[in-house]
Amino acid sequence: MAKDKKKKPMRPKALPPKGFRDYFGAEVSQRNEMLEAITGVYHRYGFDALESSGVETVEALGKFLPDVDRPNAGVFAWQDEDDAWMALRYDLTAPLARVYAQHRNELPTPYRRYSTGPVWRNEKPGPGRYRQFYQCDADTVGSSSMAADAEICSLLSDTLEAVGIPRGDYIIRVNNRKVLDGVLETIGLTEDNQDIKEGVLRTIDKADKLDRQQLLALLTSGRKDSSGAFIDGVGLQLQQAEGVLDFIASTGGDNQETLELLSQVIGDSAIGQKGLEELEEIALLLKAQGYQEDRIKLDASVVRGLGYYTGPVYEAELTFEILDEKGRKRQFGSVAGGGRYDDLVERFTGQKVPATGVSIGVDRLLAALREKGRMDHTAKGPVVVTVMDRDRMADYQAMVAELRNAGIRAEVYLGNPKNFGNQLKYADKRESPVAVIQGGDELAAGVVQIKDLALGARLSAEIETSEEWKAQPAQMEIKRADLVAEVRAMIKRAGGETDA
Amino acid sequence: MAKDKKKKPMRPKALPPKGFRDYFGAEVSQRNEMLEAITGVYHRYGFDALESSGVETVEALGKFLPDVDRPNAGVFAWQDEDDAWMALRYDLTAPLARVYAQHRNELPTPYRRYSTGPVWRNEKPGPGRYRQFYQCDADTVGSSSMAADAEICSLLSDTLEAVGIPRGDYIIRVNNRKVLDGVLETIGLTEDNQDIKEGVLRTIDKADKLDRQQLLALLTSGRKDSSGAFIDGVGLQLQQAEGVLDFIASTGGDNQETLELLSQVIGDSAIGQKGLEELEEIALLLKAQGYQEDRIKLDASVVRGLGYYTGPVYEAELTFEILDEKGRKRQFGSVAGGGRYDDLVERFTGQKVPATGVSIGVDRLLAALREKGRMDHTAKGPVVVTVMDRDRMADYQAMVAELRNAGIRAEVYLGNPKNFGNQLKYADKRESPVAVIQGGDELAAGVVQIKDLALGARLSAEIETSEEWKAQPAQMEIKRADLVAEVRAMIKRAGGETDA
């Protein structure tokens, strides 16, 4: 027994699982603010909120991840005590299909819904790549009208502007899978070549990172990548591969020109023709609402990686430049994408239910807004009421109560008050705008000291005693009765804000 | 092959896993509004947001569920590809302990944080009892001051009032585990009787549902419940059990009286005396800030079920009456609870870190607000622009764009426009305040019809054609140019609101 007691206890590691992380303070509130702005636009467009659970049955989720190379990986799954398999949702679209199939008799048709929340992917984590992240989706289920697709595009445009991406800094590109199908038909690939079609899709999806020769190699017999590894080709003949590349290069200066270029590459294909008509209709609807090619344009190079799209596909790209990790300029890139998927609900019901929608990569968009300086960086730390006399905690609490009731964020120092310097360091760490001090002398005189910490911040690291600190110029003695008014005035002078 | 094709395909069931559910429209936005009000108060108190991931390692989570009868159940857990065990968090306190232990060098001390989000329990679902639900917590880590506990109580009081529970309809009861320990010491139970102590805790926690005789039986040798099943007793002697019941009955008319009653039951116990002093300090601090016994009061009957509390415990109860499922009046009951837990972080670091906090049962509180009629029930459906002429979709889209740009929630009907009656049924289902109609005649005359659907709702079920519908009195012909102004006026006349 004595021996056991001496043994060092096994302690759990204070770490989240690999690939998960925590978000603190402004990271959380900025994301919430952005999501509120986004869902505000969604709501104004008539979309209704839906929150499904994070857990679904594996059979209901199905496998619709972009990573078709590992069809059995990608989700976190486990068995219930009844041996039923459950899994964390990997996106918000698969749960929507389940919800719509389940509640279709009570829901309006068409059903416009938005959802926002975490999704989980059981993938290898990497820099900036986490296994839990947020999505924010808007979908319309039950409408085959191209007006539904056009609406998703205008919704996306309005949303980007609402969160603070100025017009000119983004572009929404629109294409149609049916046009691609037409091209494949024209070059001699039929519906039976599903594997080849998906190989073509994945290759085109990487087109912006590779040159024409590399793409031709990938579409035909394969190529060695920069690491020397051989990547299998899709297996097209050279002429077919050239047909595919001609297609993705068919973007003109405006939508009219793009439509003409596309009509050349689809030849006589009926499905291609149908896709072209759909694009034309979307372009027309958008134009009528004033969305010109500077915001939303047809673009033959967009295909989206997901296999389940059946018609229009769209992608929102941020076009302003940032510096990459090596200091090179590059465009910020894609922050949202989506398209029409007419088959997802059919899995459950056996009946085709047309659907179209978009998913915003919340963390990517948030990073973009920070990059553009669109997130509020005003210090929003609380006023800190310091504790000079630990027996007078009730007085200090009364001060913070007054400040809070006036809408000013405030707190009393709750650590060990013995070392006053620690209280100031604490206020610093909290990015506090103002500290309040009342010792015995001040109490007797009916006054308090208030201190502008933004002004005093530069010196605070060297200050150890309250005496030195009081000598700084940013400090004022005010009447106790004027506490709220004077603190508010000091915060405003420093450029901050209070709730009221 | 031909046979295979005829076989009916296996379809996934369109259901969430057992014990999970979906939340629609107002359910989601009302919860969000309430959470925003709650976190607004938390923020004003100086608490910072923290969002940890839904997934933790099993070793970091530990087992701190109230259901000590099944120590190995209660969580959803699975093995990683590296064989490491991961689990969904079952509350927001265990992750906080992990986060604080991990980041303690960067975080301010004391660290006030709030978290809100879903938690998961692998428990048997029941009516109104789901396996995923929301919590909203505020905790202060790193302060042993009773001012931290008093602050949590006043925070809880302010929060309840901020979301719409009027003063007088709630009470926050405060007790102290150390006082209970003192009582147990006085009746002859020492720290070694951990099982008995937890048995006493669980029994007291059910005290409001049982009479004195039943409680005495449970604390001693056990009793048969109403179903005839025998429930084992805790194993106290009768005199000890009476001592426990005397303790939980020691609540006086005001805090002073309660403190006097408690001092009688703890006898000479040093730990009991310490608990009493802590309660006295909390009462004093709250009084100084103006929180009287009508909001927060000492109450000897509160113990909380969780084993990990080490000092003050608190519970918020809503005192207004509701009718239960059998039509009997009862108090709404508990919506939040918490207490001081000084040992959770120590698991990771080996060093004691004092902490105290509260958790609000979000769904319970939301149900209470609905019960009190505090949630906004104004129809917030969108204006529906109907489609009389499917070739003029662009015109209708332009109308909704105008309405949306003016801050009015609006949408165009995206289903098959052939049957006009279906469009009206759709608008009804959407709880639309106003429908907009423009056929060929109206277009030629430069006018549109707008229709107050709240007024027309009673008749709409019987209406099949647009002719009948137009004959209703709630319909107006207005100039196309006045669309926004007239729609806004109609919504306001119906008592609704627009964003702008």
Q: Per-residue pLDDT tens for A23-67?
A: 999 999 999 999 999 999 999 999 999 999 999 999 898 876 554
Q: Do B50 and A29 touch (CB under 8 A)?
A: no
Element (H, E) at A118: strand A111-120
What pTM does this model have?
0.88
- Is the C-alpha dihedral spanning B483, B489, B492, B494 positive or negative? negative
> Strand pairing partners for B476?
B450
- State the nearest Cα–Cα gap between A87 and chain B, in angstroms: 10
Q: Please tell us whether the domain made up of A26-371 is placed in CATH 3.30.930.10.
A: yes
Query: Given strand A434-437, what is the order of strands in its sheet?
Result: A410-412, A383-385, A434-437, A447-452, A475-479
Q: Do B284 and A15 touch (CB under 8 A)?
A: no
pLDDT tens digit sequence for A119-131: 999 988 887 789 9
Reduced DSSP (H G I as helix, E B as strand, rest coil) percent helix, strand, coil of chain B, to 5: 40, 20, 40
CA A176/CA A277 separation, integer angstroms = 10
- Examine domains B26-371 and B383-493 and report if their fold is the same: no
CA A487/CA A399 separation, integer angstroms = 11
Q: Which amino acid is at A188?
A: G
Closest B-chain CA to A103:
B14
Return the pLDDT at A371. 85
Q: Is B313 helix (H, G, I), strand (E, B) or coil?
A: strand
pLDDT at A69 over 70: no
Pick from A445, A441, A498, A451: nearest CA to A474? A451
Q: Which two tokens stand for residue A240?
A: 């077919």
Return the pLDDT at A89. 96
Strands B48-51 and A447-452: unpaired
Q: Do B414 and A145 touch (CB under 8 A)?
A: yes
CA B359/CA B91 separation, integer angstroms = 9
Q: Per-residue pLDDT averaged across A331-352, rounded?
A: 91
**How many residues are recorded in chain B?**
500
Q: Per-residue pLDDT averaged across A194-222, rounded?
A: 85
- State the nearest Cα–Cα gap between A200 and chain B, in angstroms: 28
Return the pLDDT at A464. 56
Return the pLDDT at B71. 41
| Residue pairs between chains A and B whose CB atoms are closer than 8 Å | 302
Q: Do B60 and A15 touch (CB under 8 A)?
A: yes
By the 8 A CB rule, do A183 and A272 touch?
A: yes
Break chain B into its structural domains and give their ranges. 26-371, 383-493
Query: Given strand B77-79, what is the order of strands in its sheet?
Result: B55-57, B85-88, B77-79
Return the pLDDT at B69. 46
CA A254/CA A478 separation, integer angstroms = 66
Return the pLDDT at B465. 56
CA B476/CA A181 separation, integer angstroms = 48
Nearest CB among B46, B285, B411 relative to A393 is that of B285
Band (A500; pLDDT cuts 50, 70, 90): very low
DSSP assignment of A120-187, as one string?
E-BS--BTTB-SEEEEEEEEEES---HHHHHHHHHHHHHHHHHHT--TTSEEEEEEEHHHHHHHHHHT
Return the pLDDT at A68. 43
pLDDT less than 50: residues of chain B:
1-5, 67-72, 500
Nearest CB among A21, A78, A122 relative to B76 is that of A78
pLDDT tens digit sequence for A306-317: 678 899 999 999
Residue of B52, B55, B109, B387 best to disrupt the A interface, most CBs of A under 10 A: B55
CA A62/CA A76 separation, integer angstroms = 13
Report helix angle A212-219 to A238-248, nearest 10. 130
pLDDT at A399 over 70: yes
Pick from A387, A442, A445, A441: nearest CA to A411? A387
Return the pLDDT at B207. 79
Q: Which two tokens stand for residue B182?
A: 């003192």
Q: Which two tokens stand for residue B273?
A: 């005396």
Rounded to 5°, angle at Cα B297 from B294 and B299: 135
Report helix angle A26-44 to A146-163, nearest 10. 140
Q: Which two tokens stand for residue A142?
A: 């039950």
**Contacts B408 to A, Cβ<8 Å:** 44
Pick from B380, B334, B294: nearest CA to B26? B380
DSSP assignment of A291-343, as one string?
--TTTEEE-TT---S-TT--SEEEEEEEEEEEE-TTS-EEEEEEEEEEEE-SS
By the 8 A CB rule, do A385 and A400 touch?
A: yes
Task: Please tell me the number of Cα atoms within 13 Å of A484 on its side-chain side.
Answer: 15
- Which class is domain A383-493? alpha beta
Q: Give Cβ neighbours of residue A470 (< 8 Å, ≥ 6 apart).
A: A437, A449
Task: Give me the residue label for tokens 């196309």.
Answer: B480
Element (H, E) at A281: helix A270-288
Closest B-chain CA to A86:
B17
Task: Give me the residue label for tokens 């139970």.
Answer: B189
Integer angstrom CA distances of residue B180 from A336, B265, B357: 57, 9, 19
- State the nearest Cα–Cα gap between B44 and chain A, in angstroms: 4
Mean per-residue pLDDT of chain A: 88
By the 8 A CB rule, do A88 and A120 touch?
A: yes
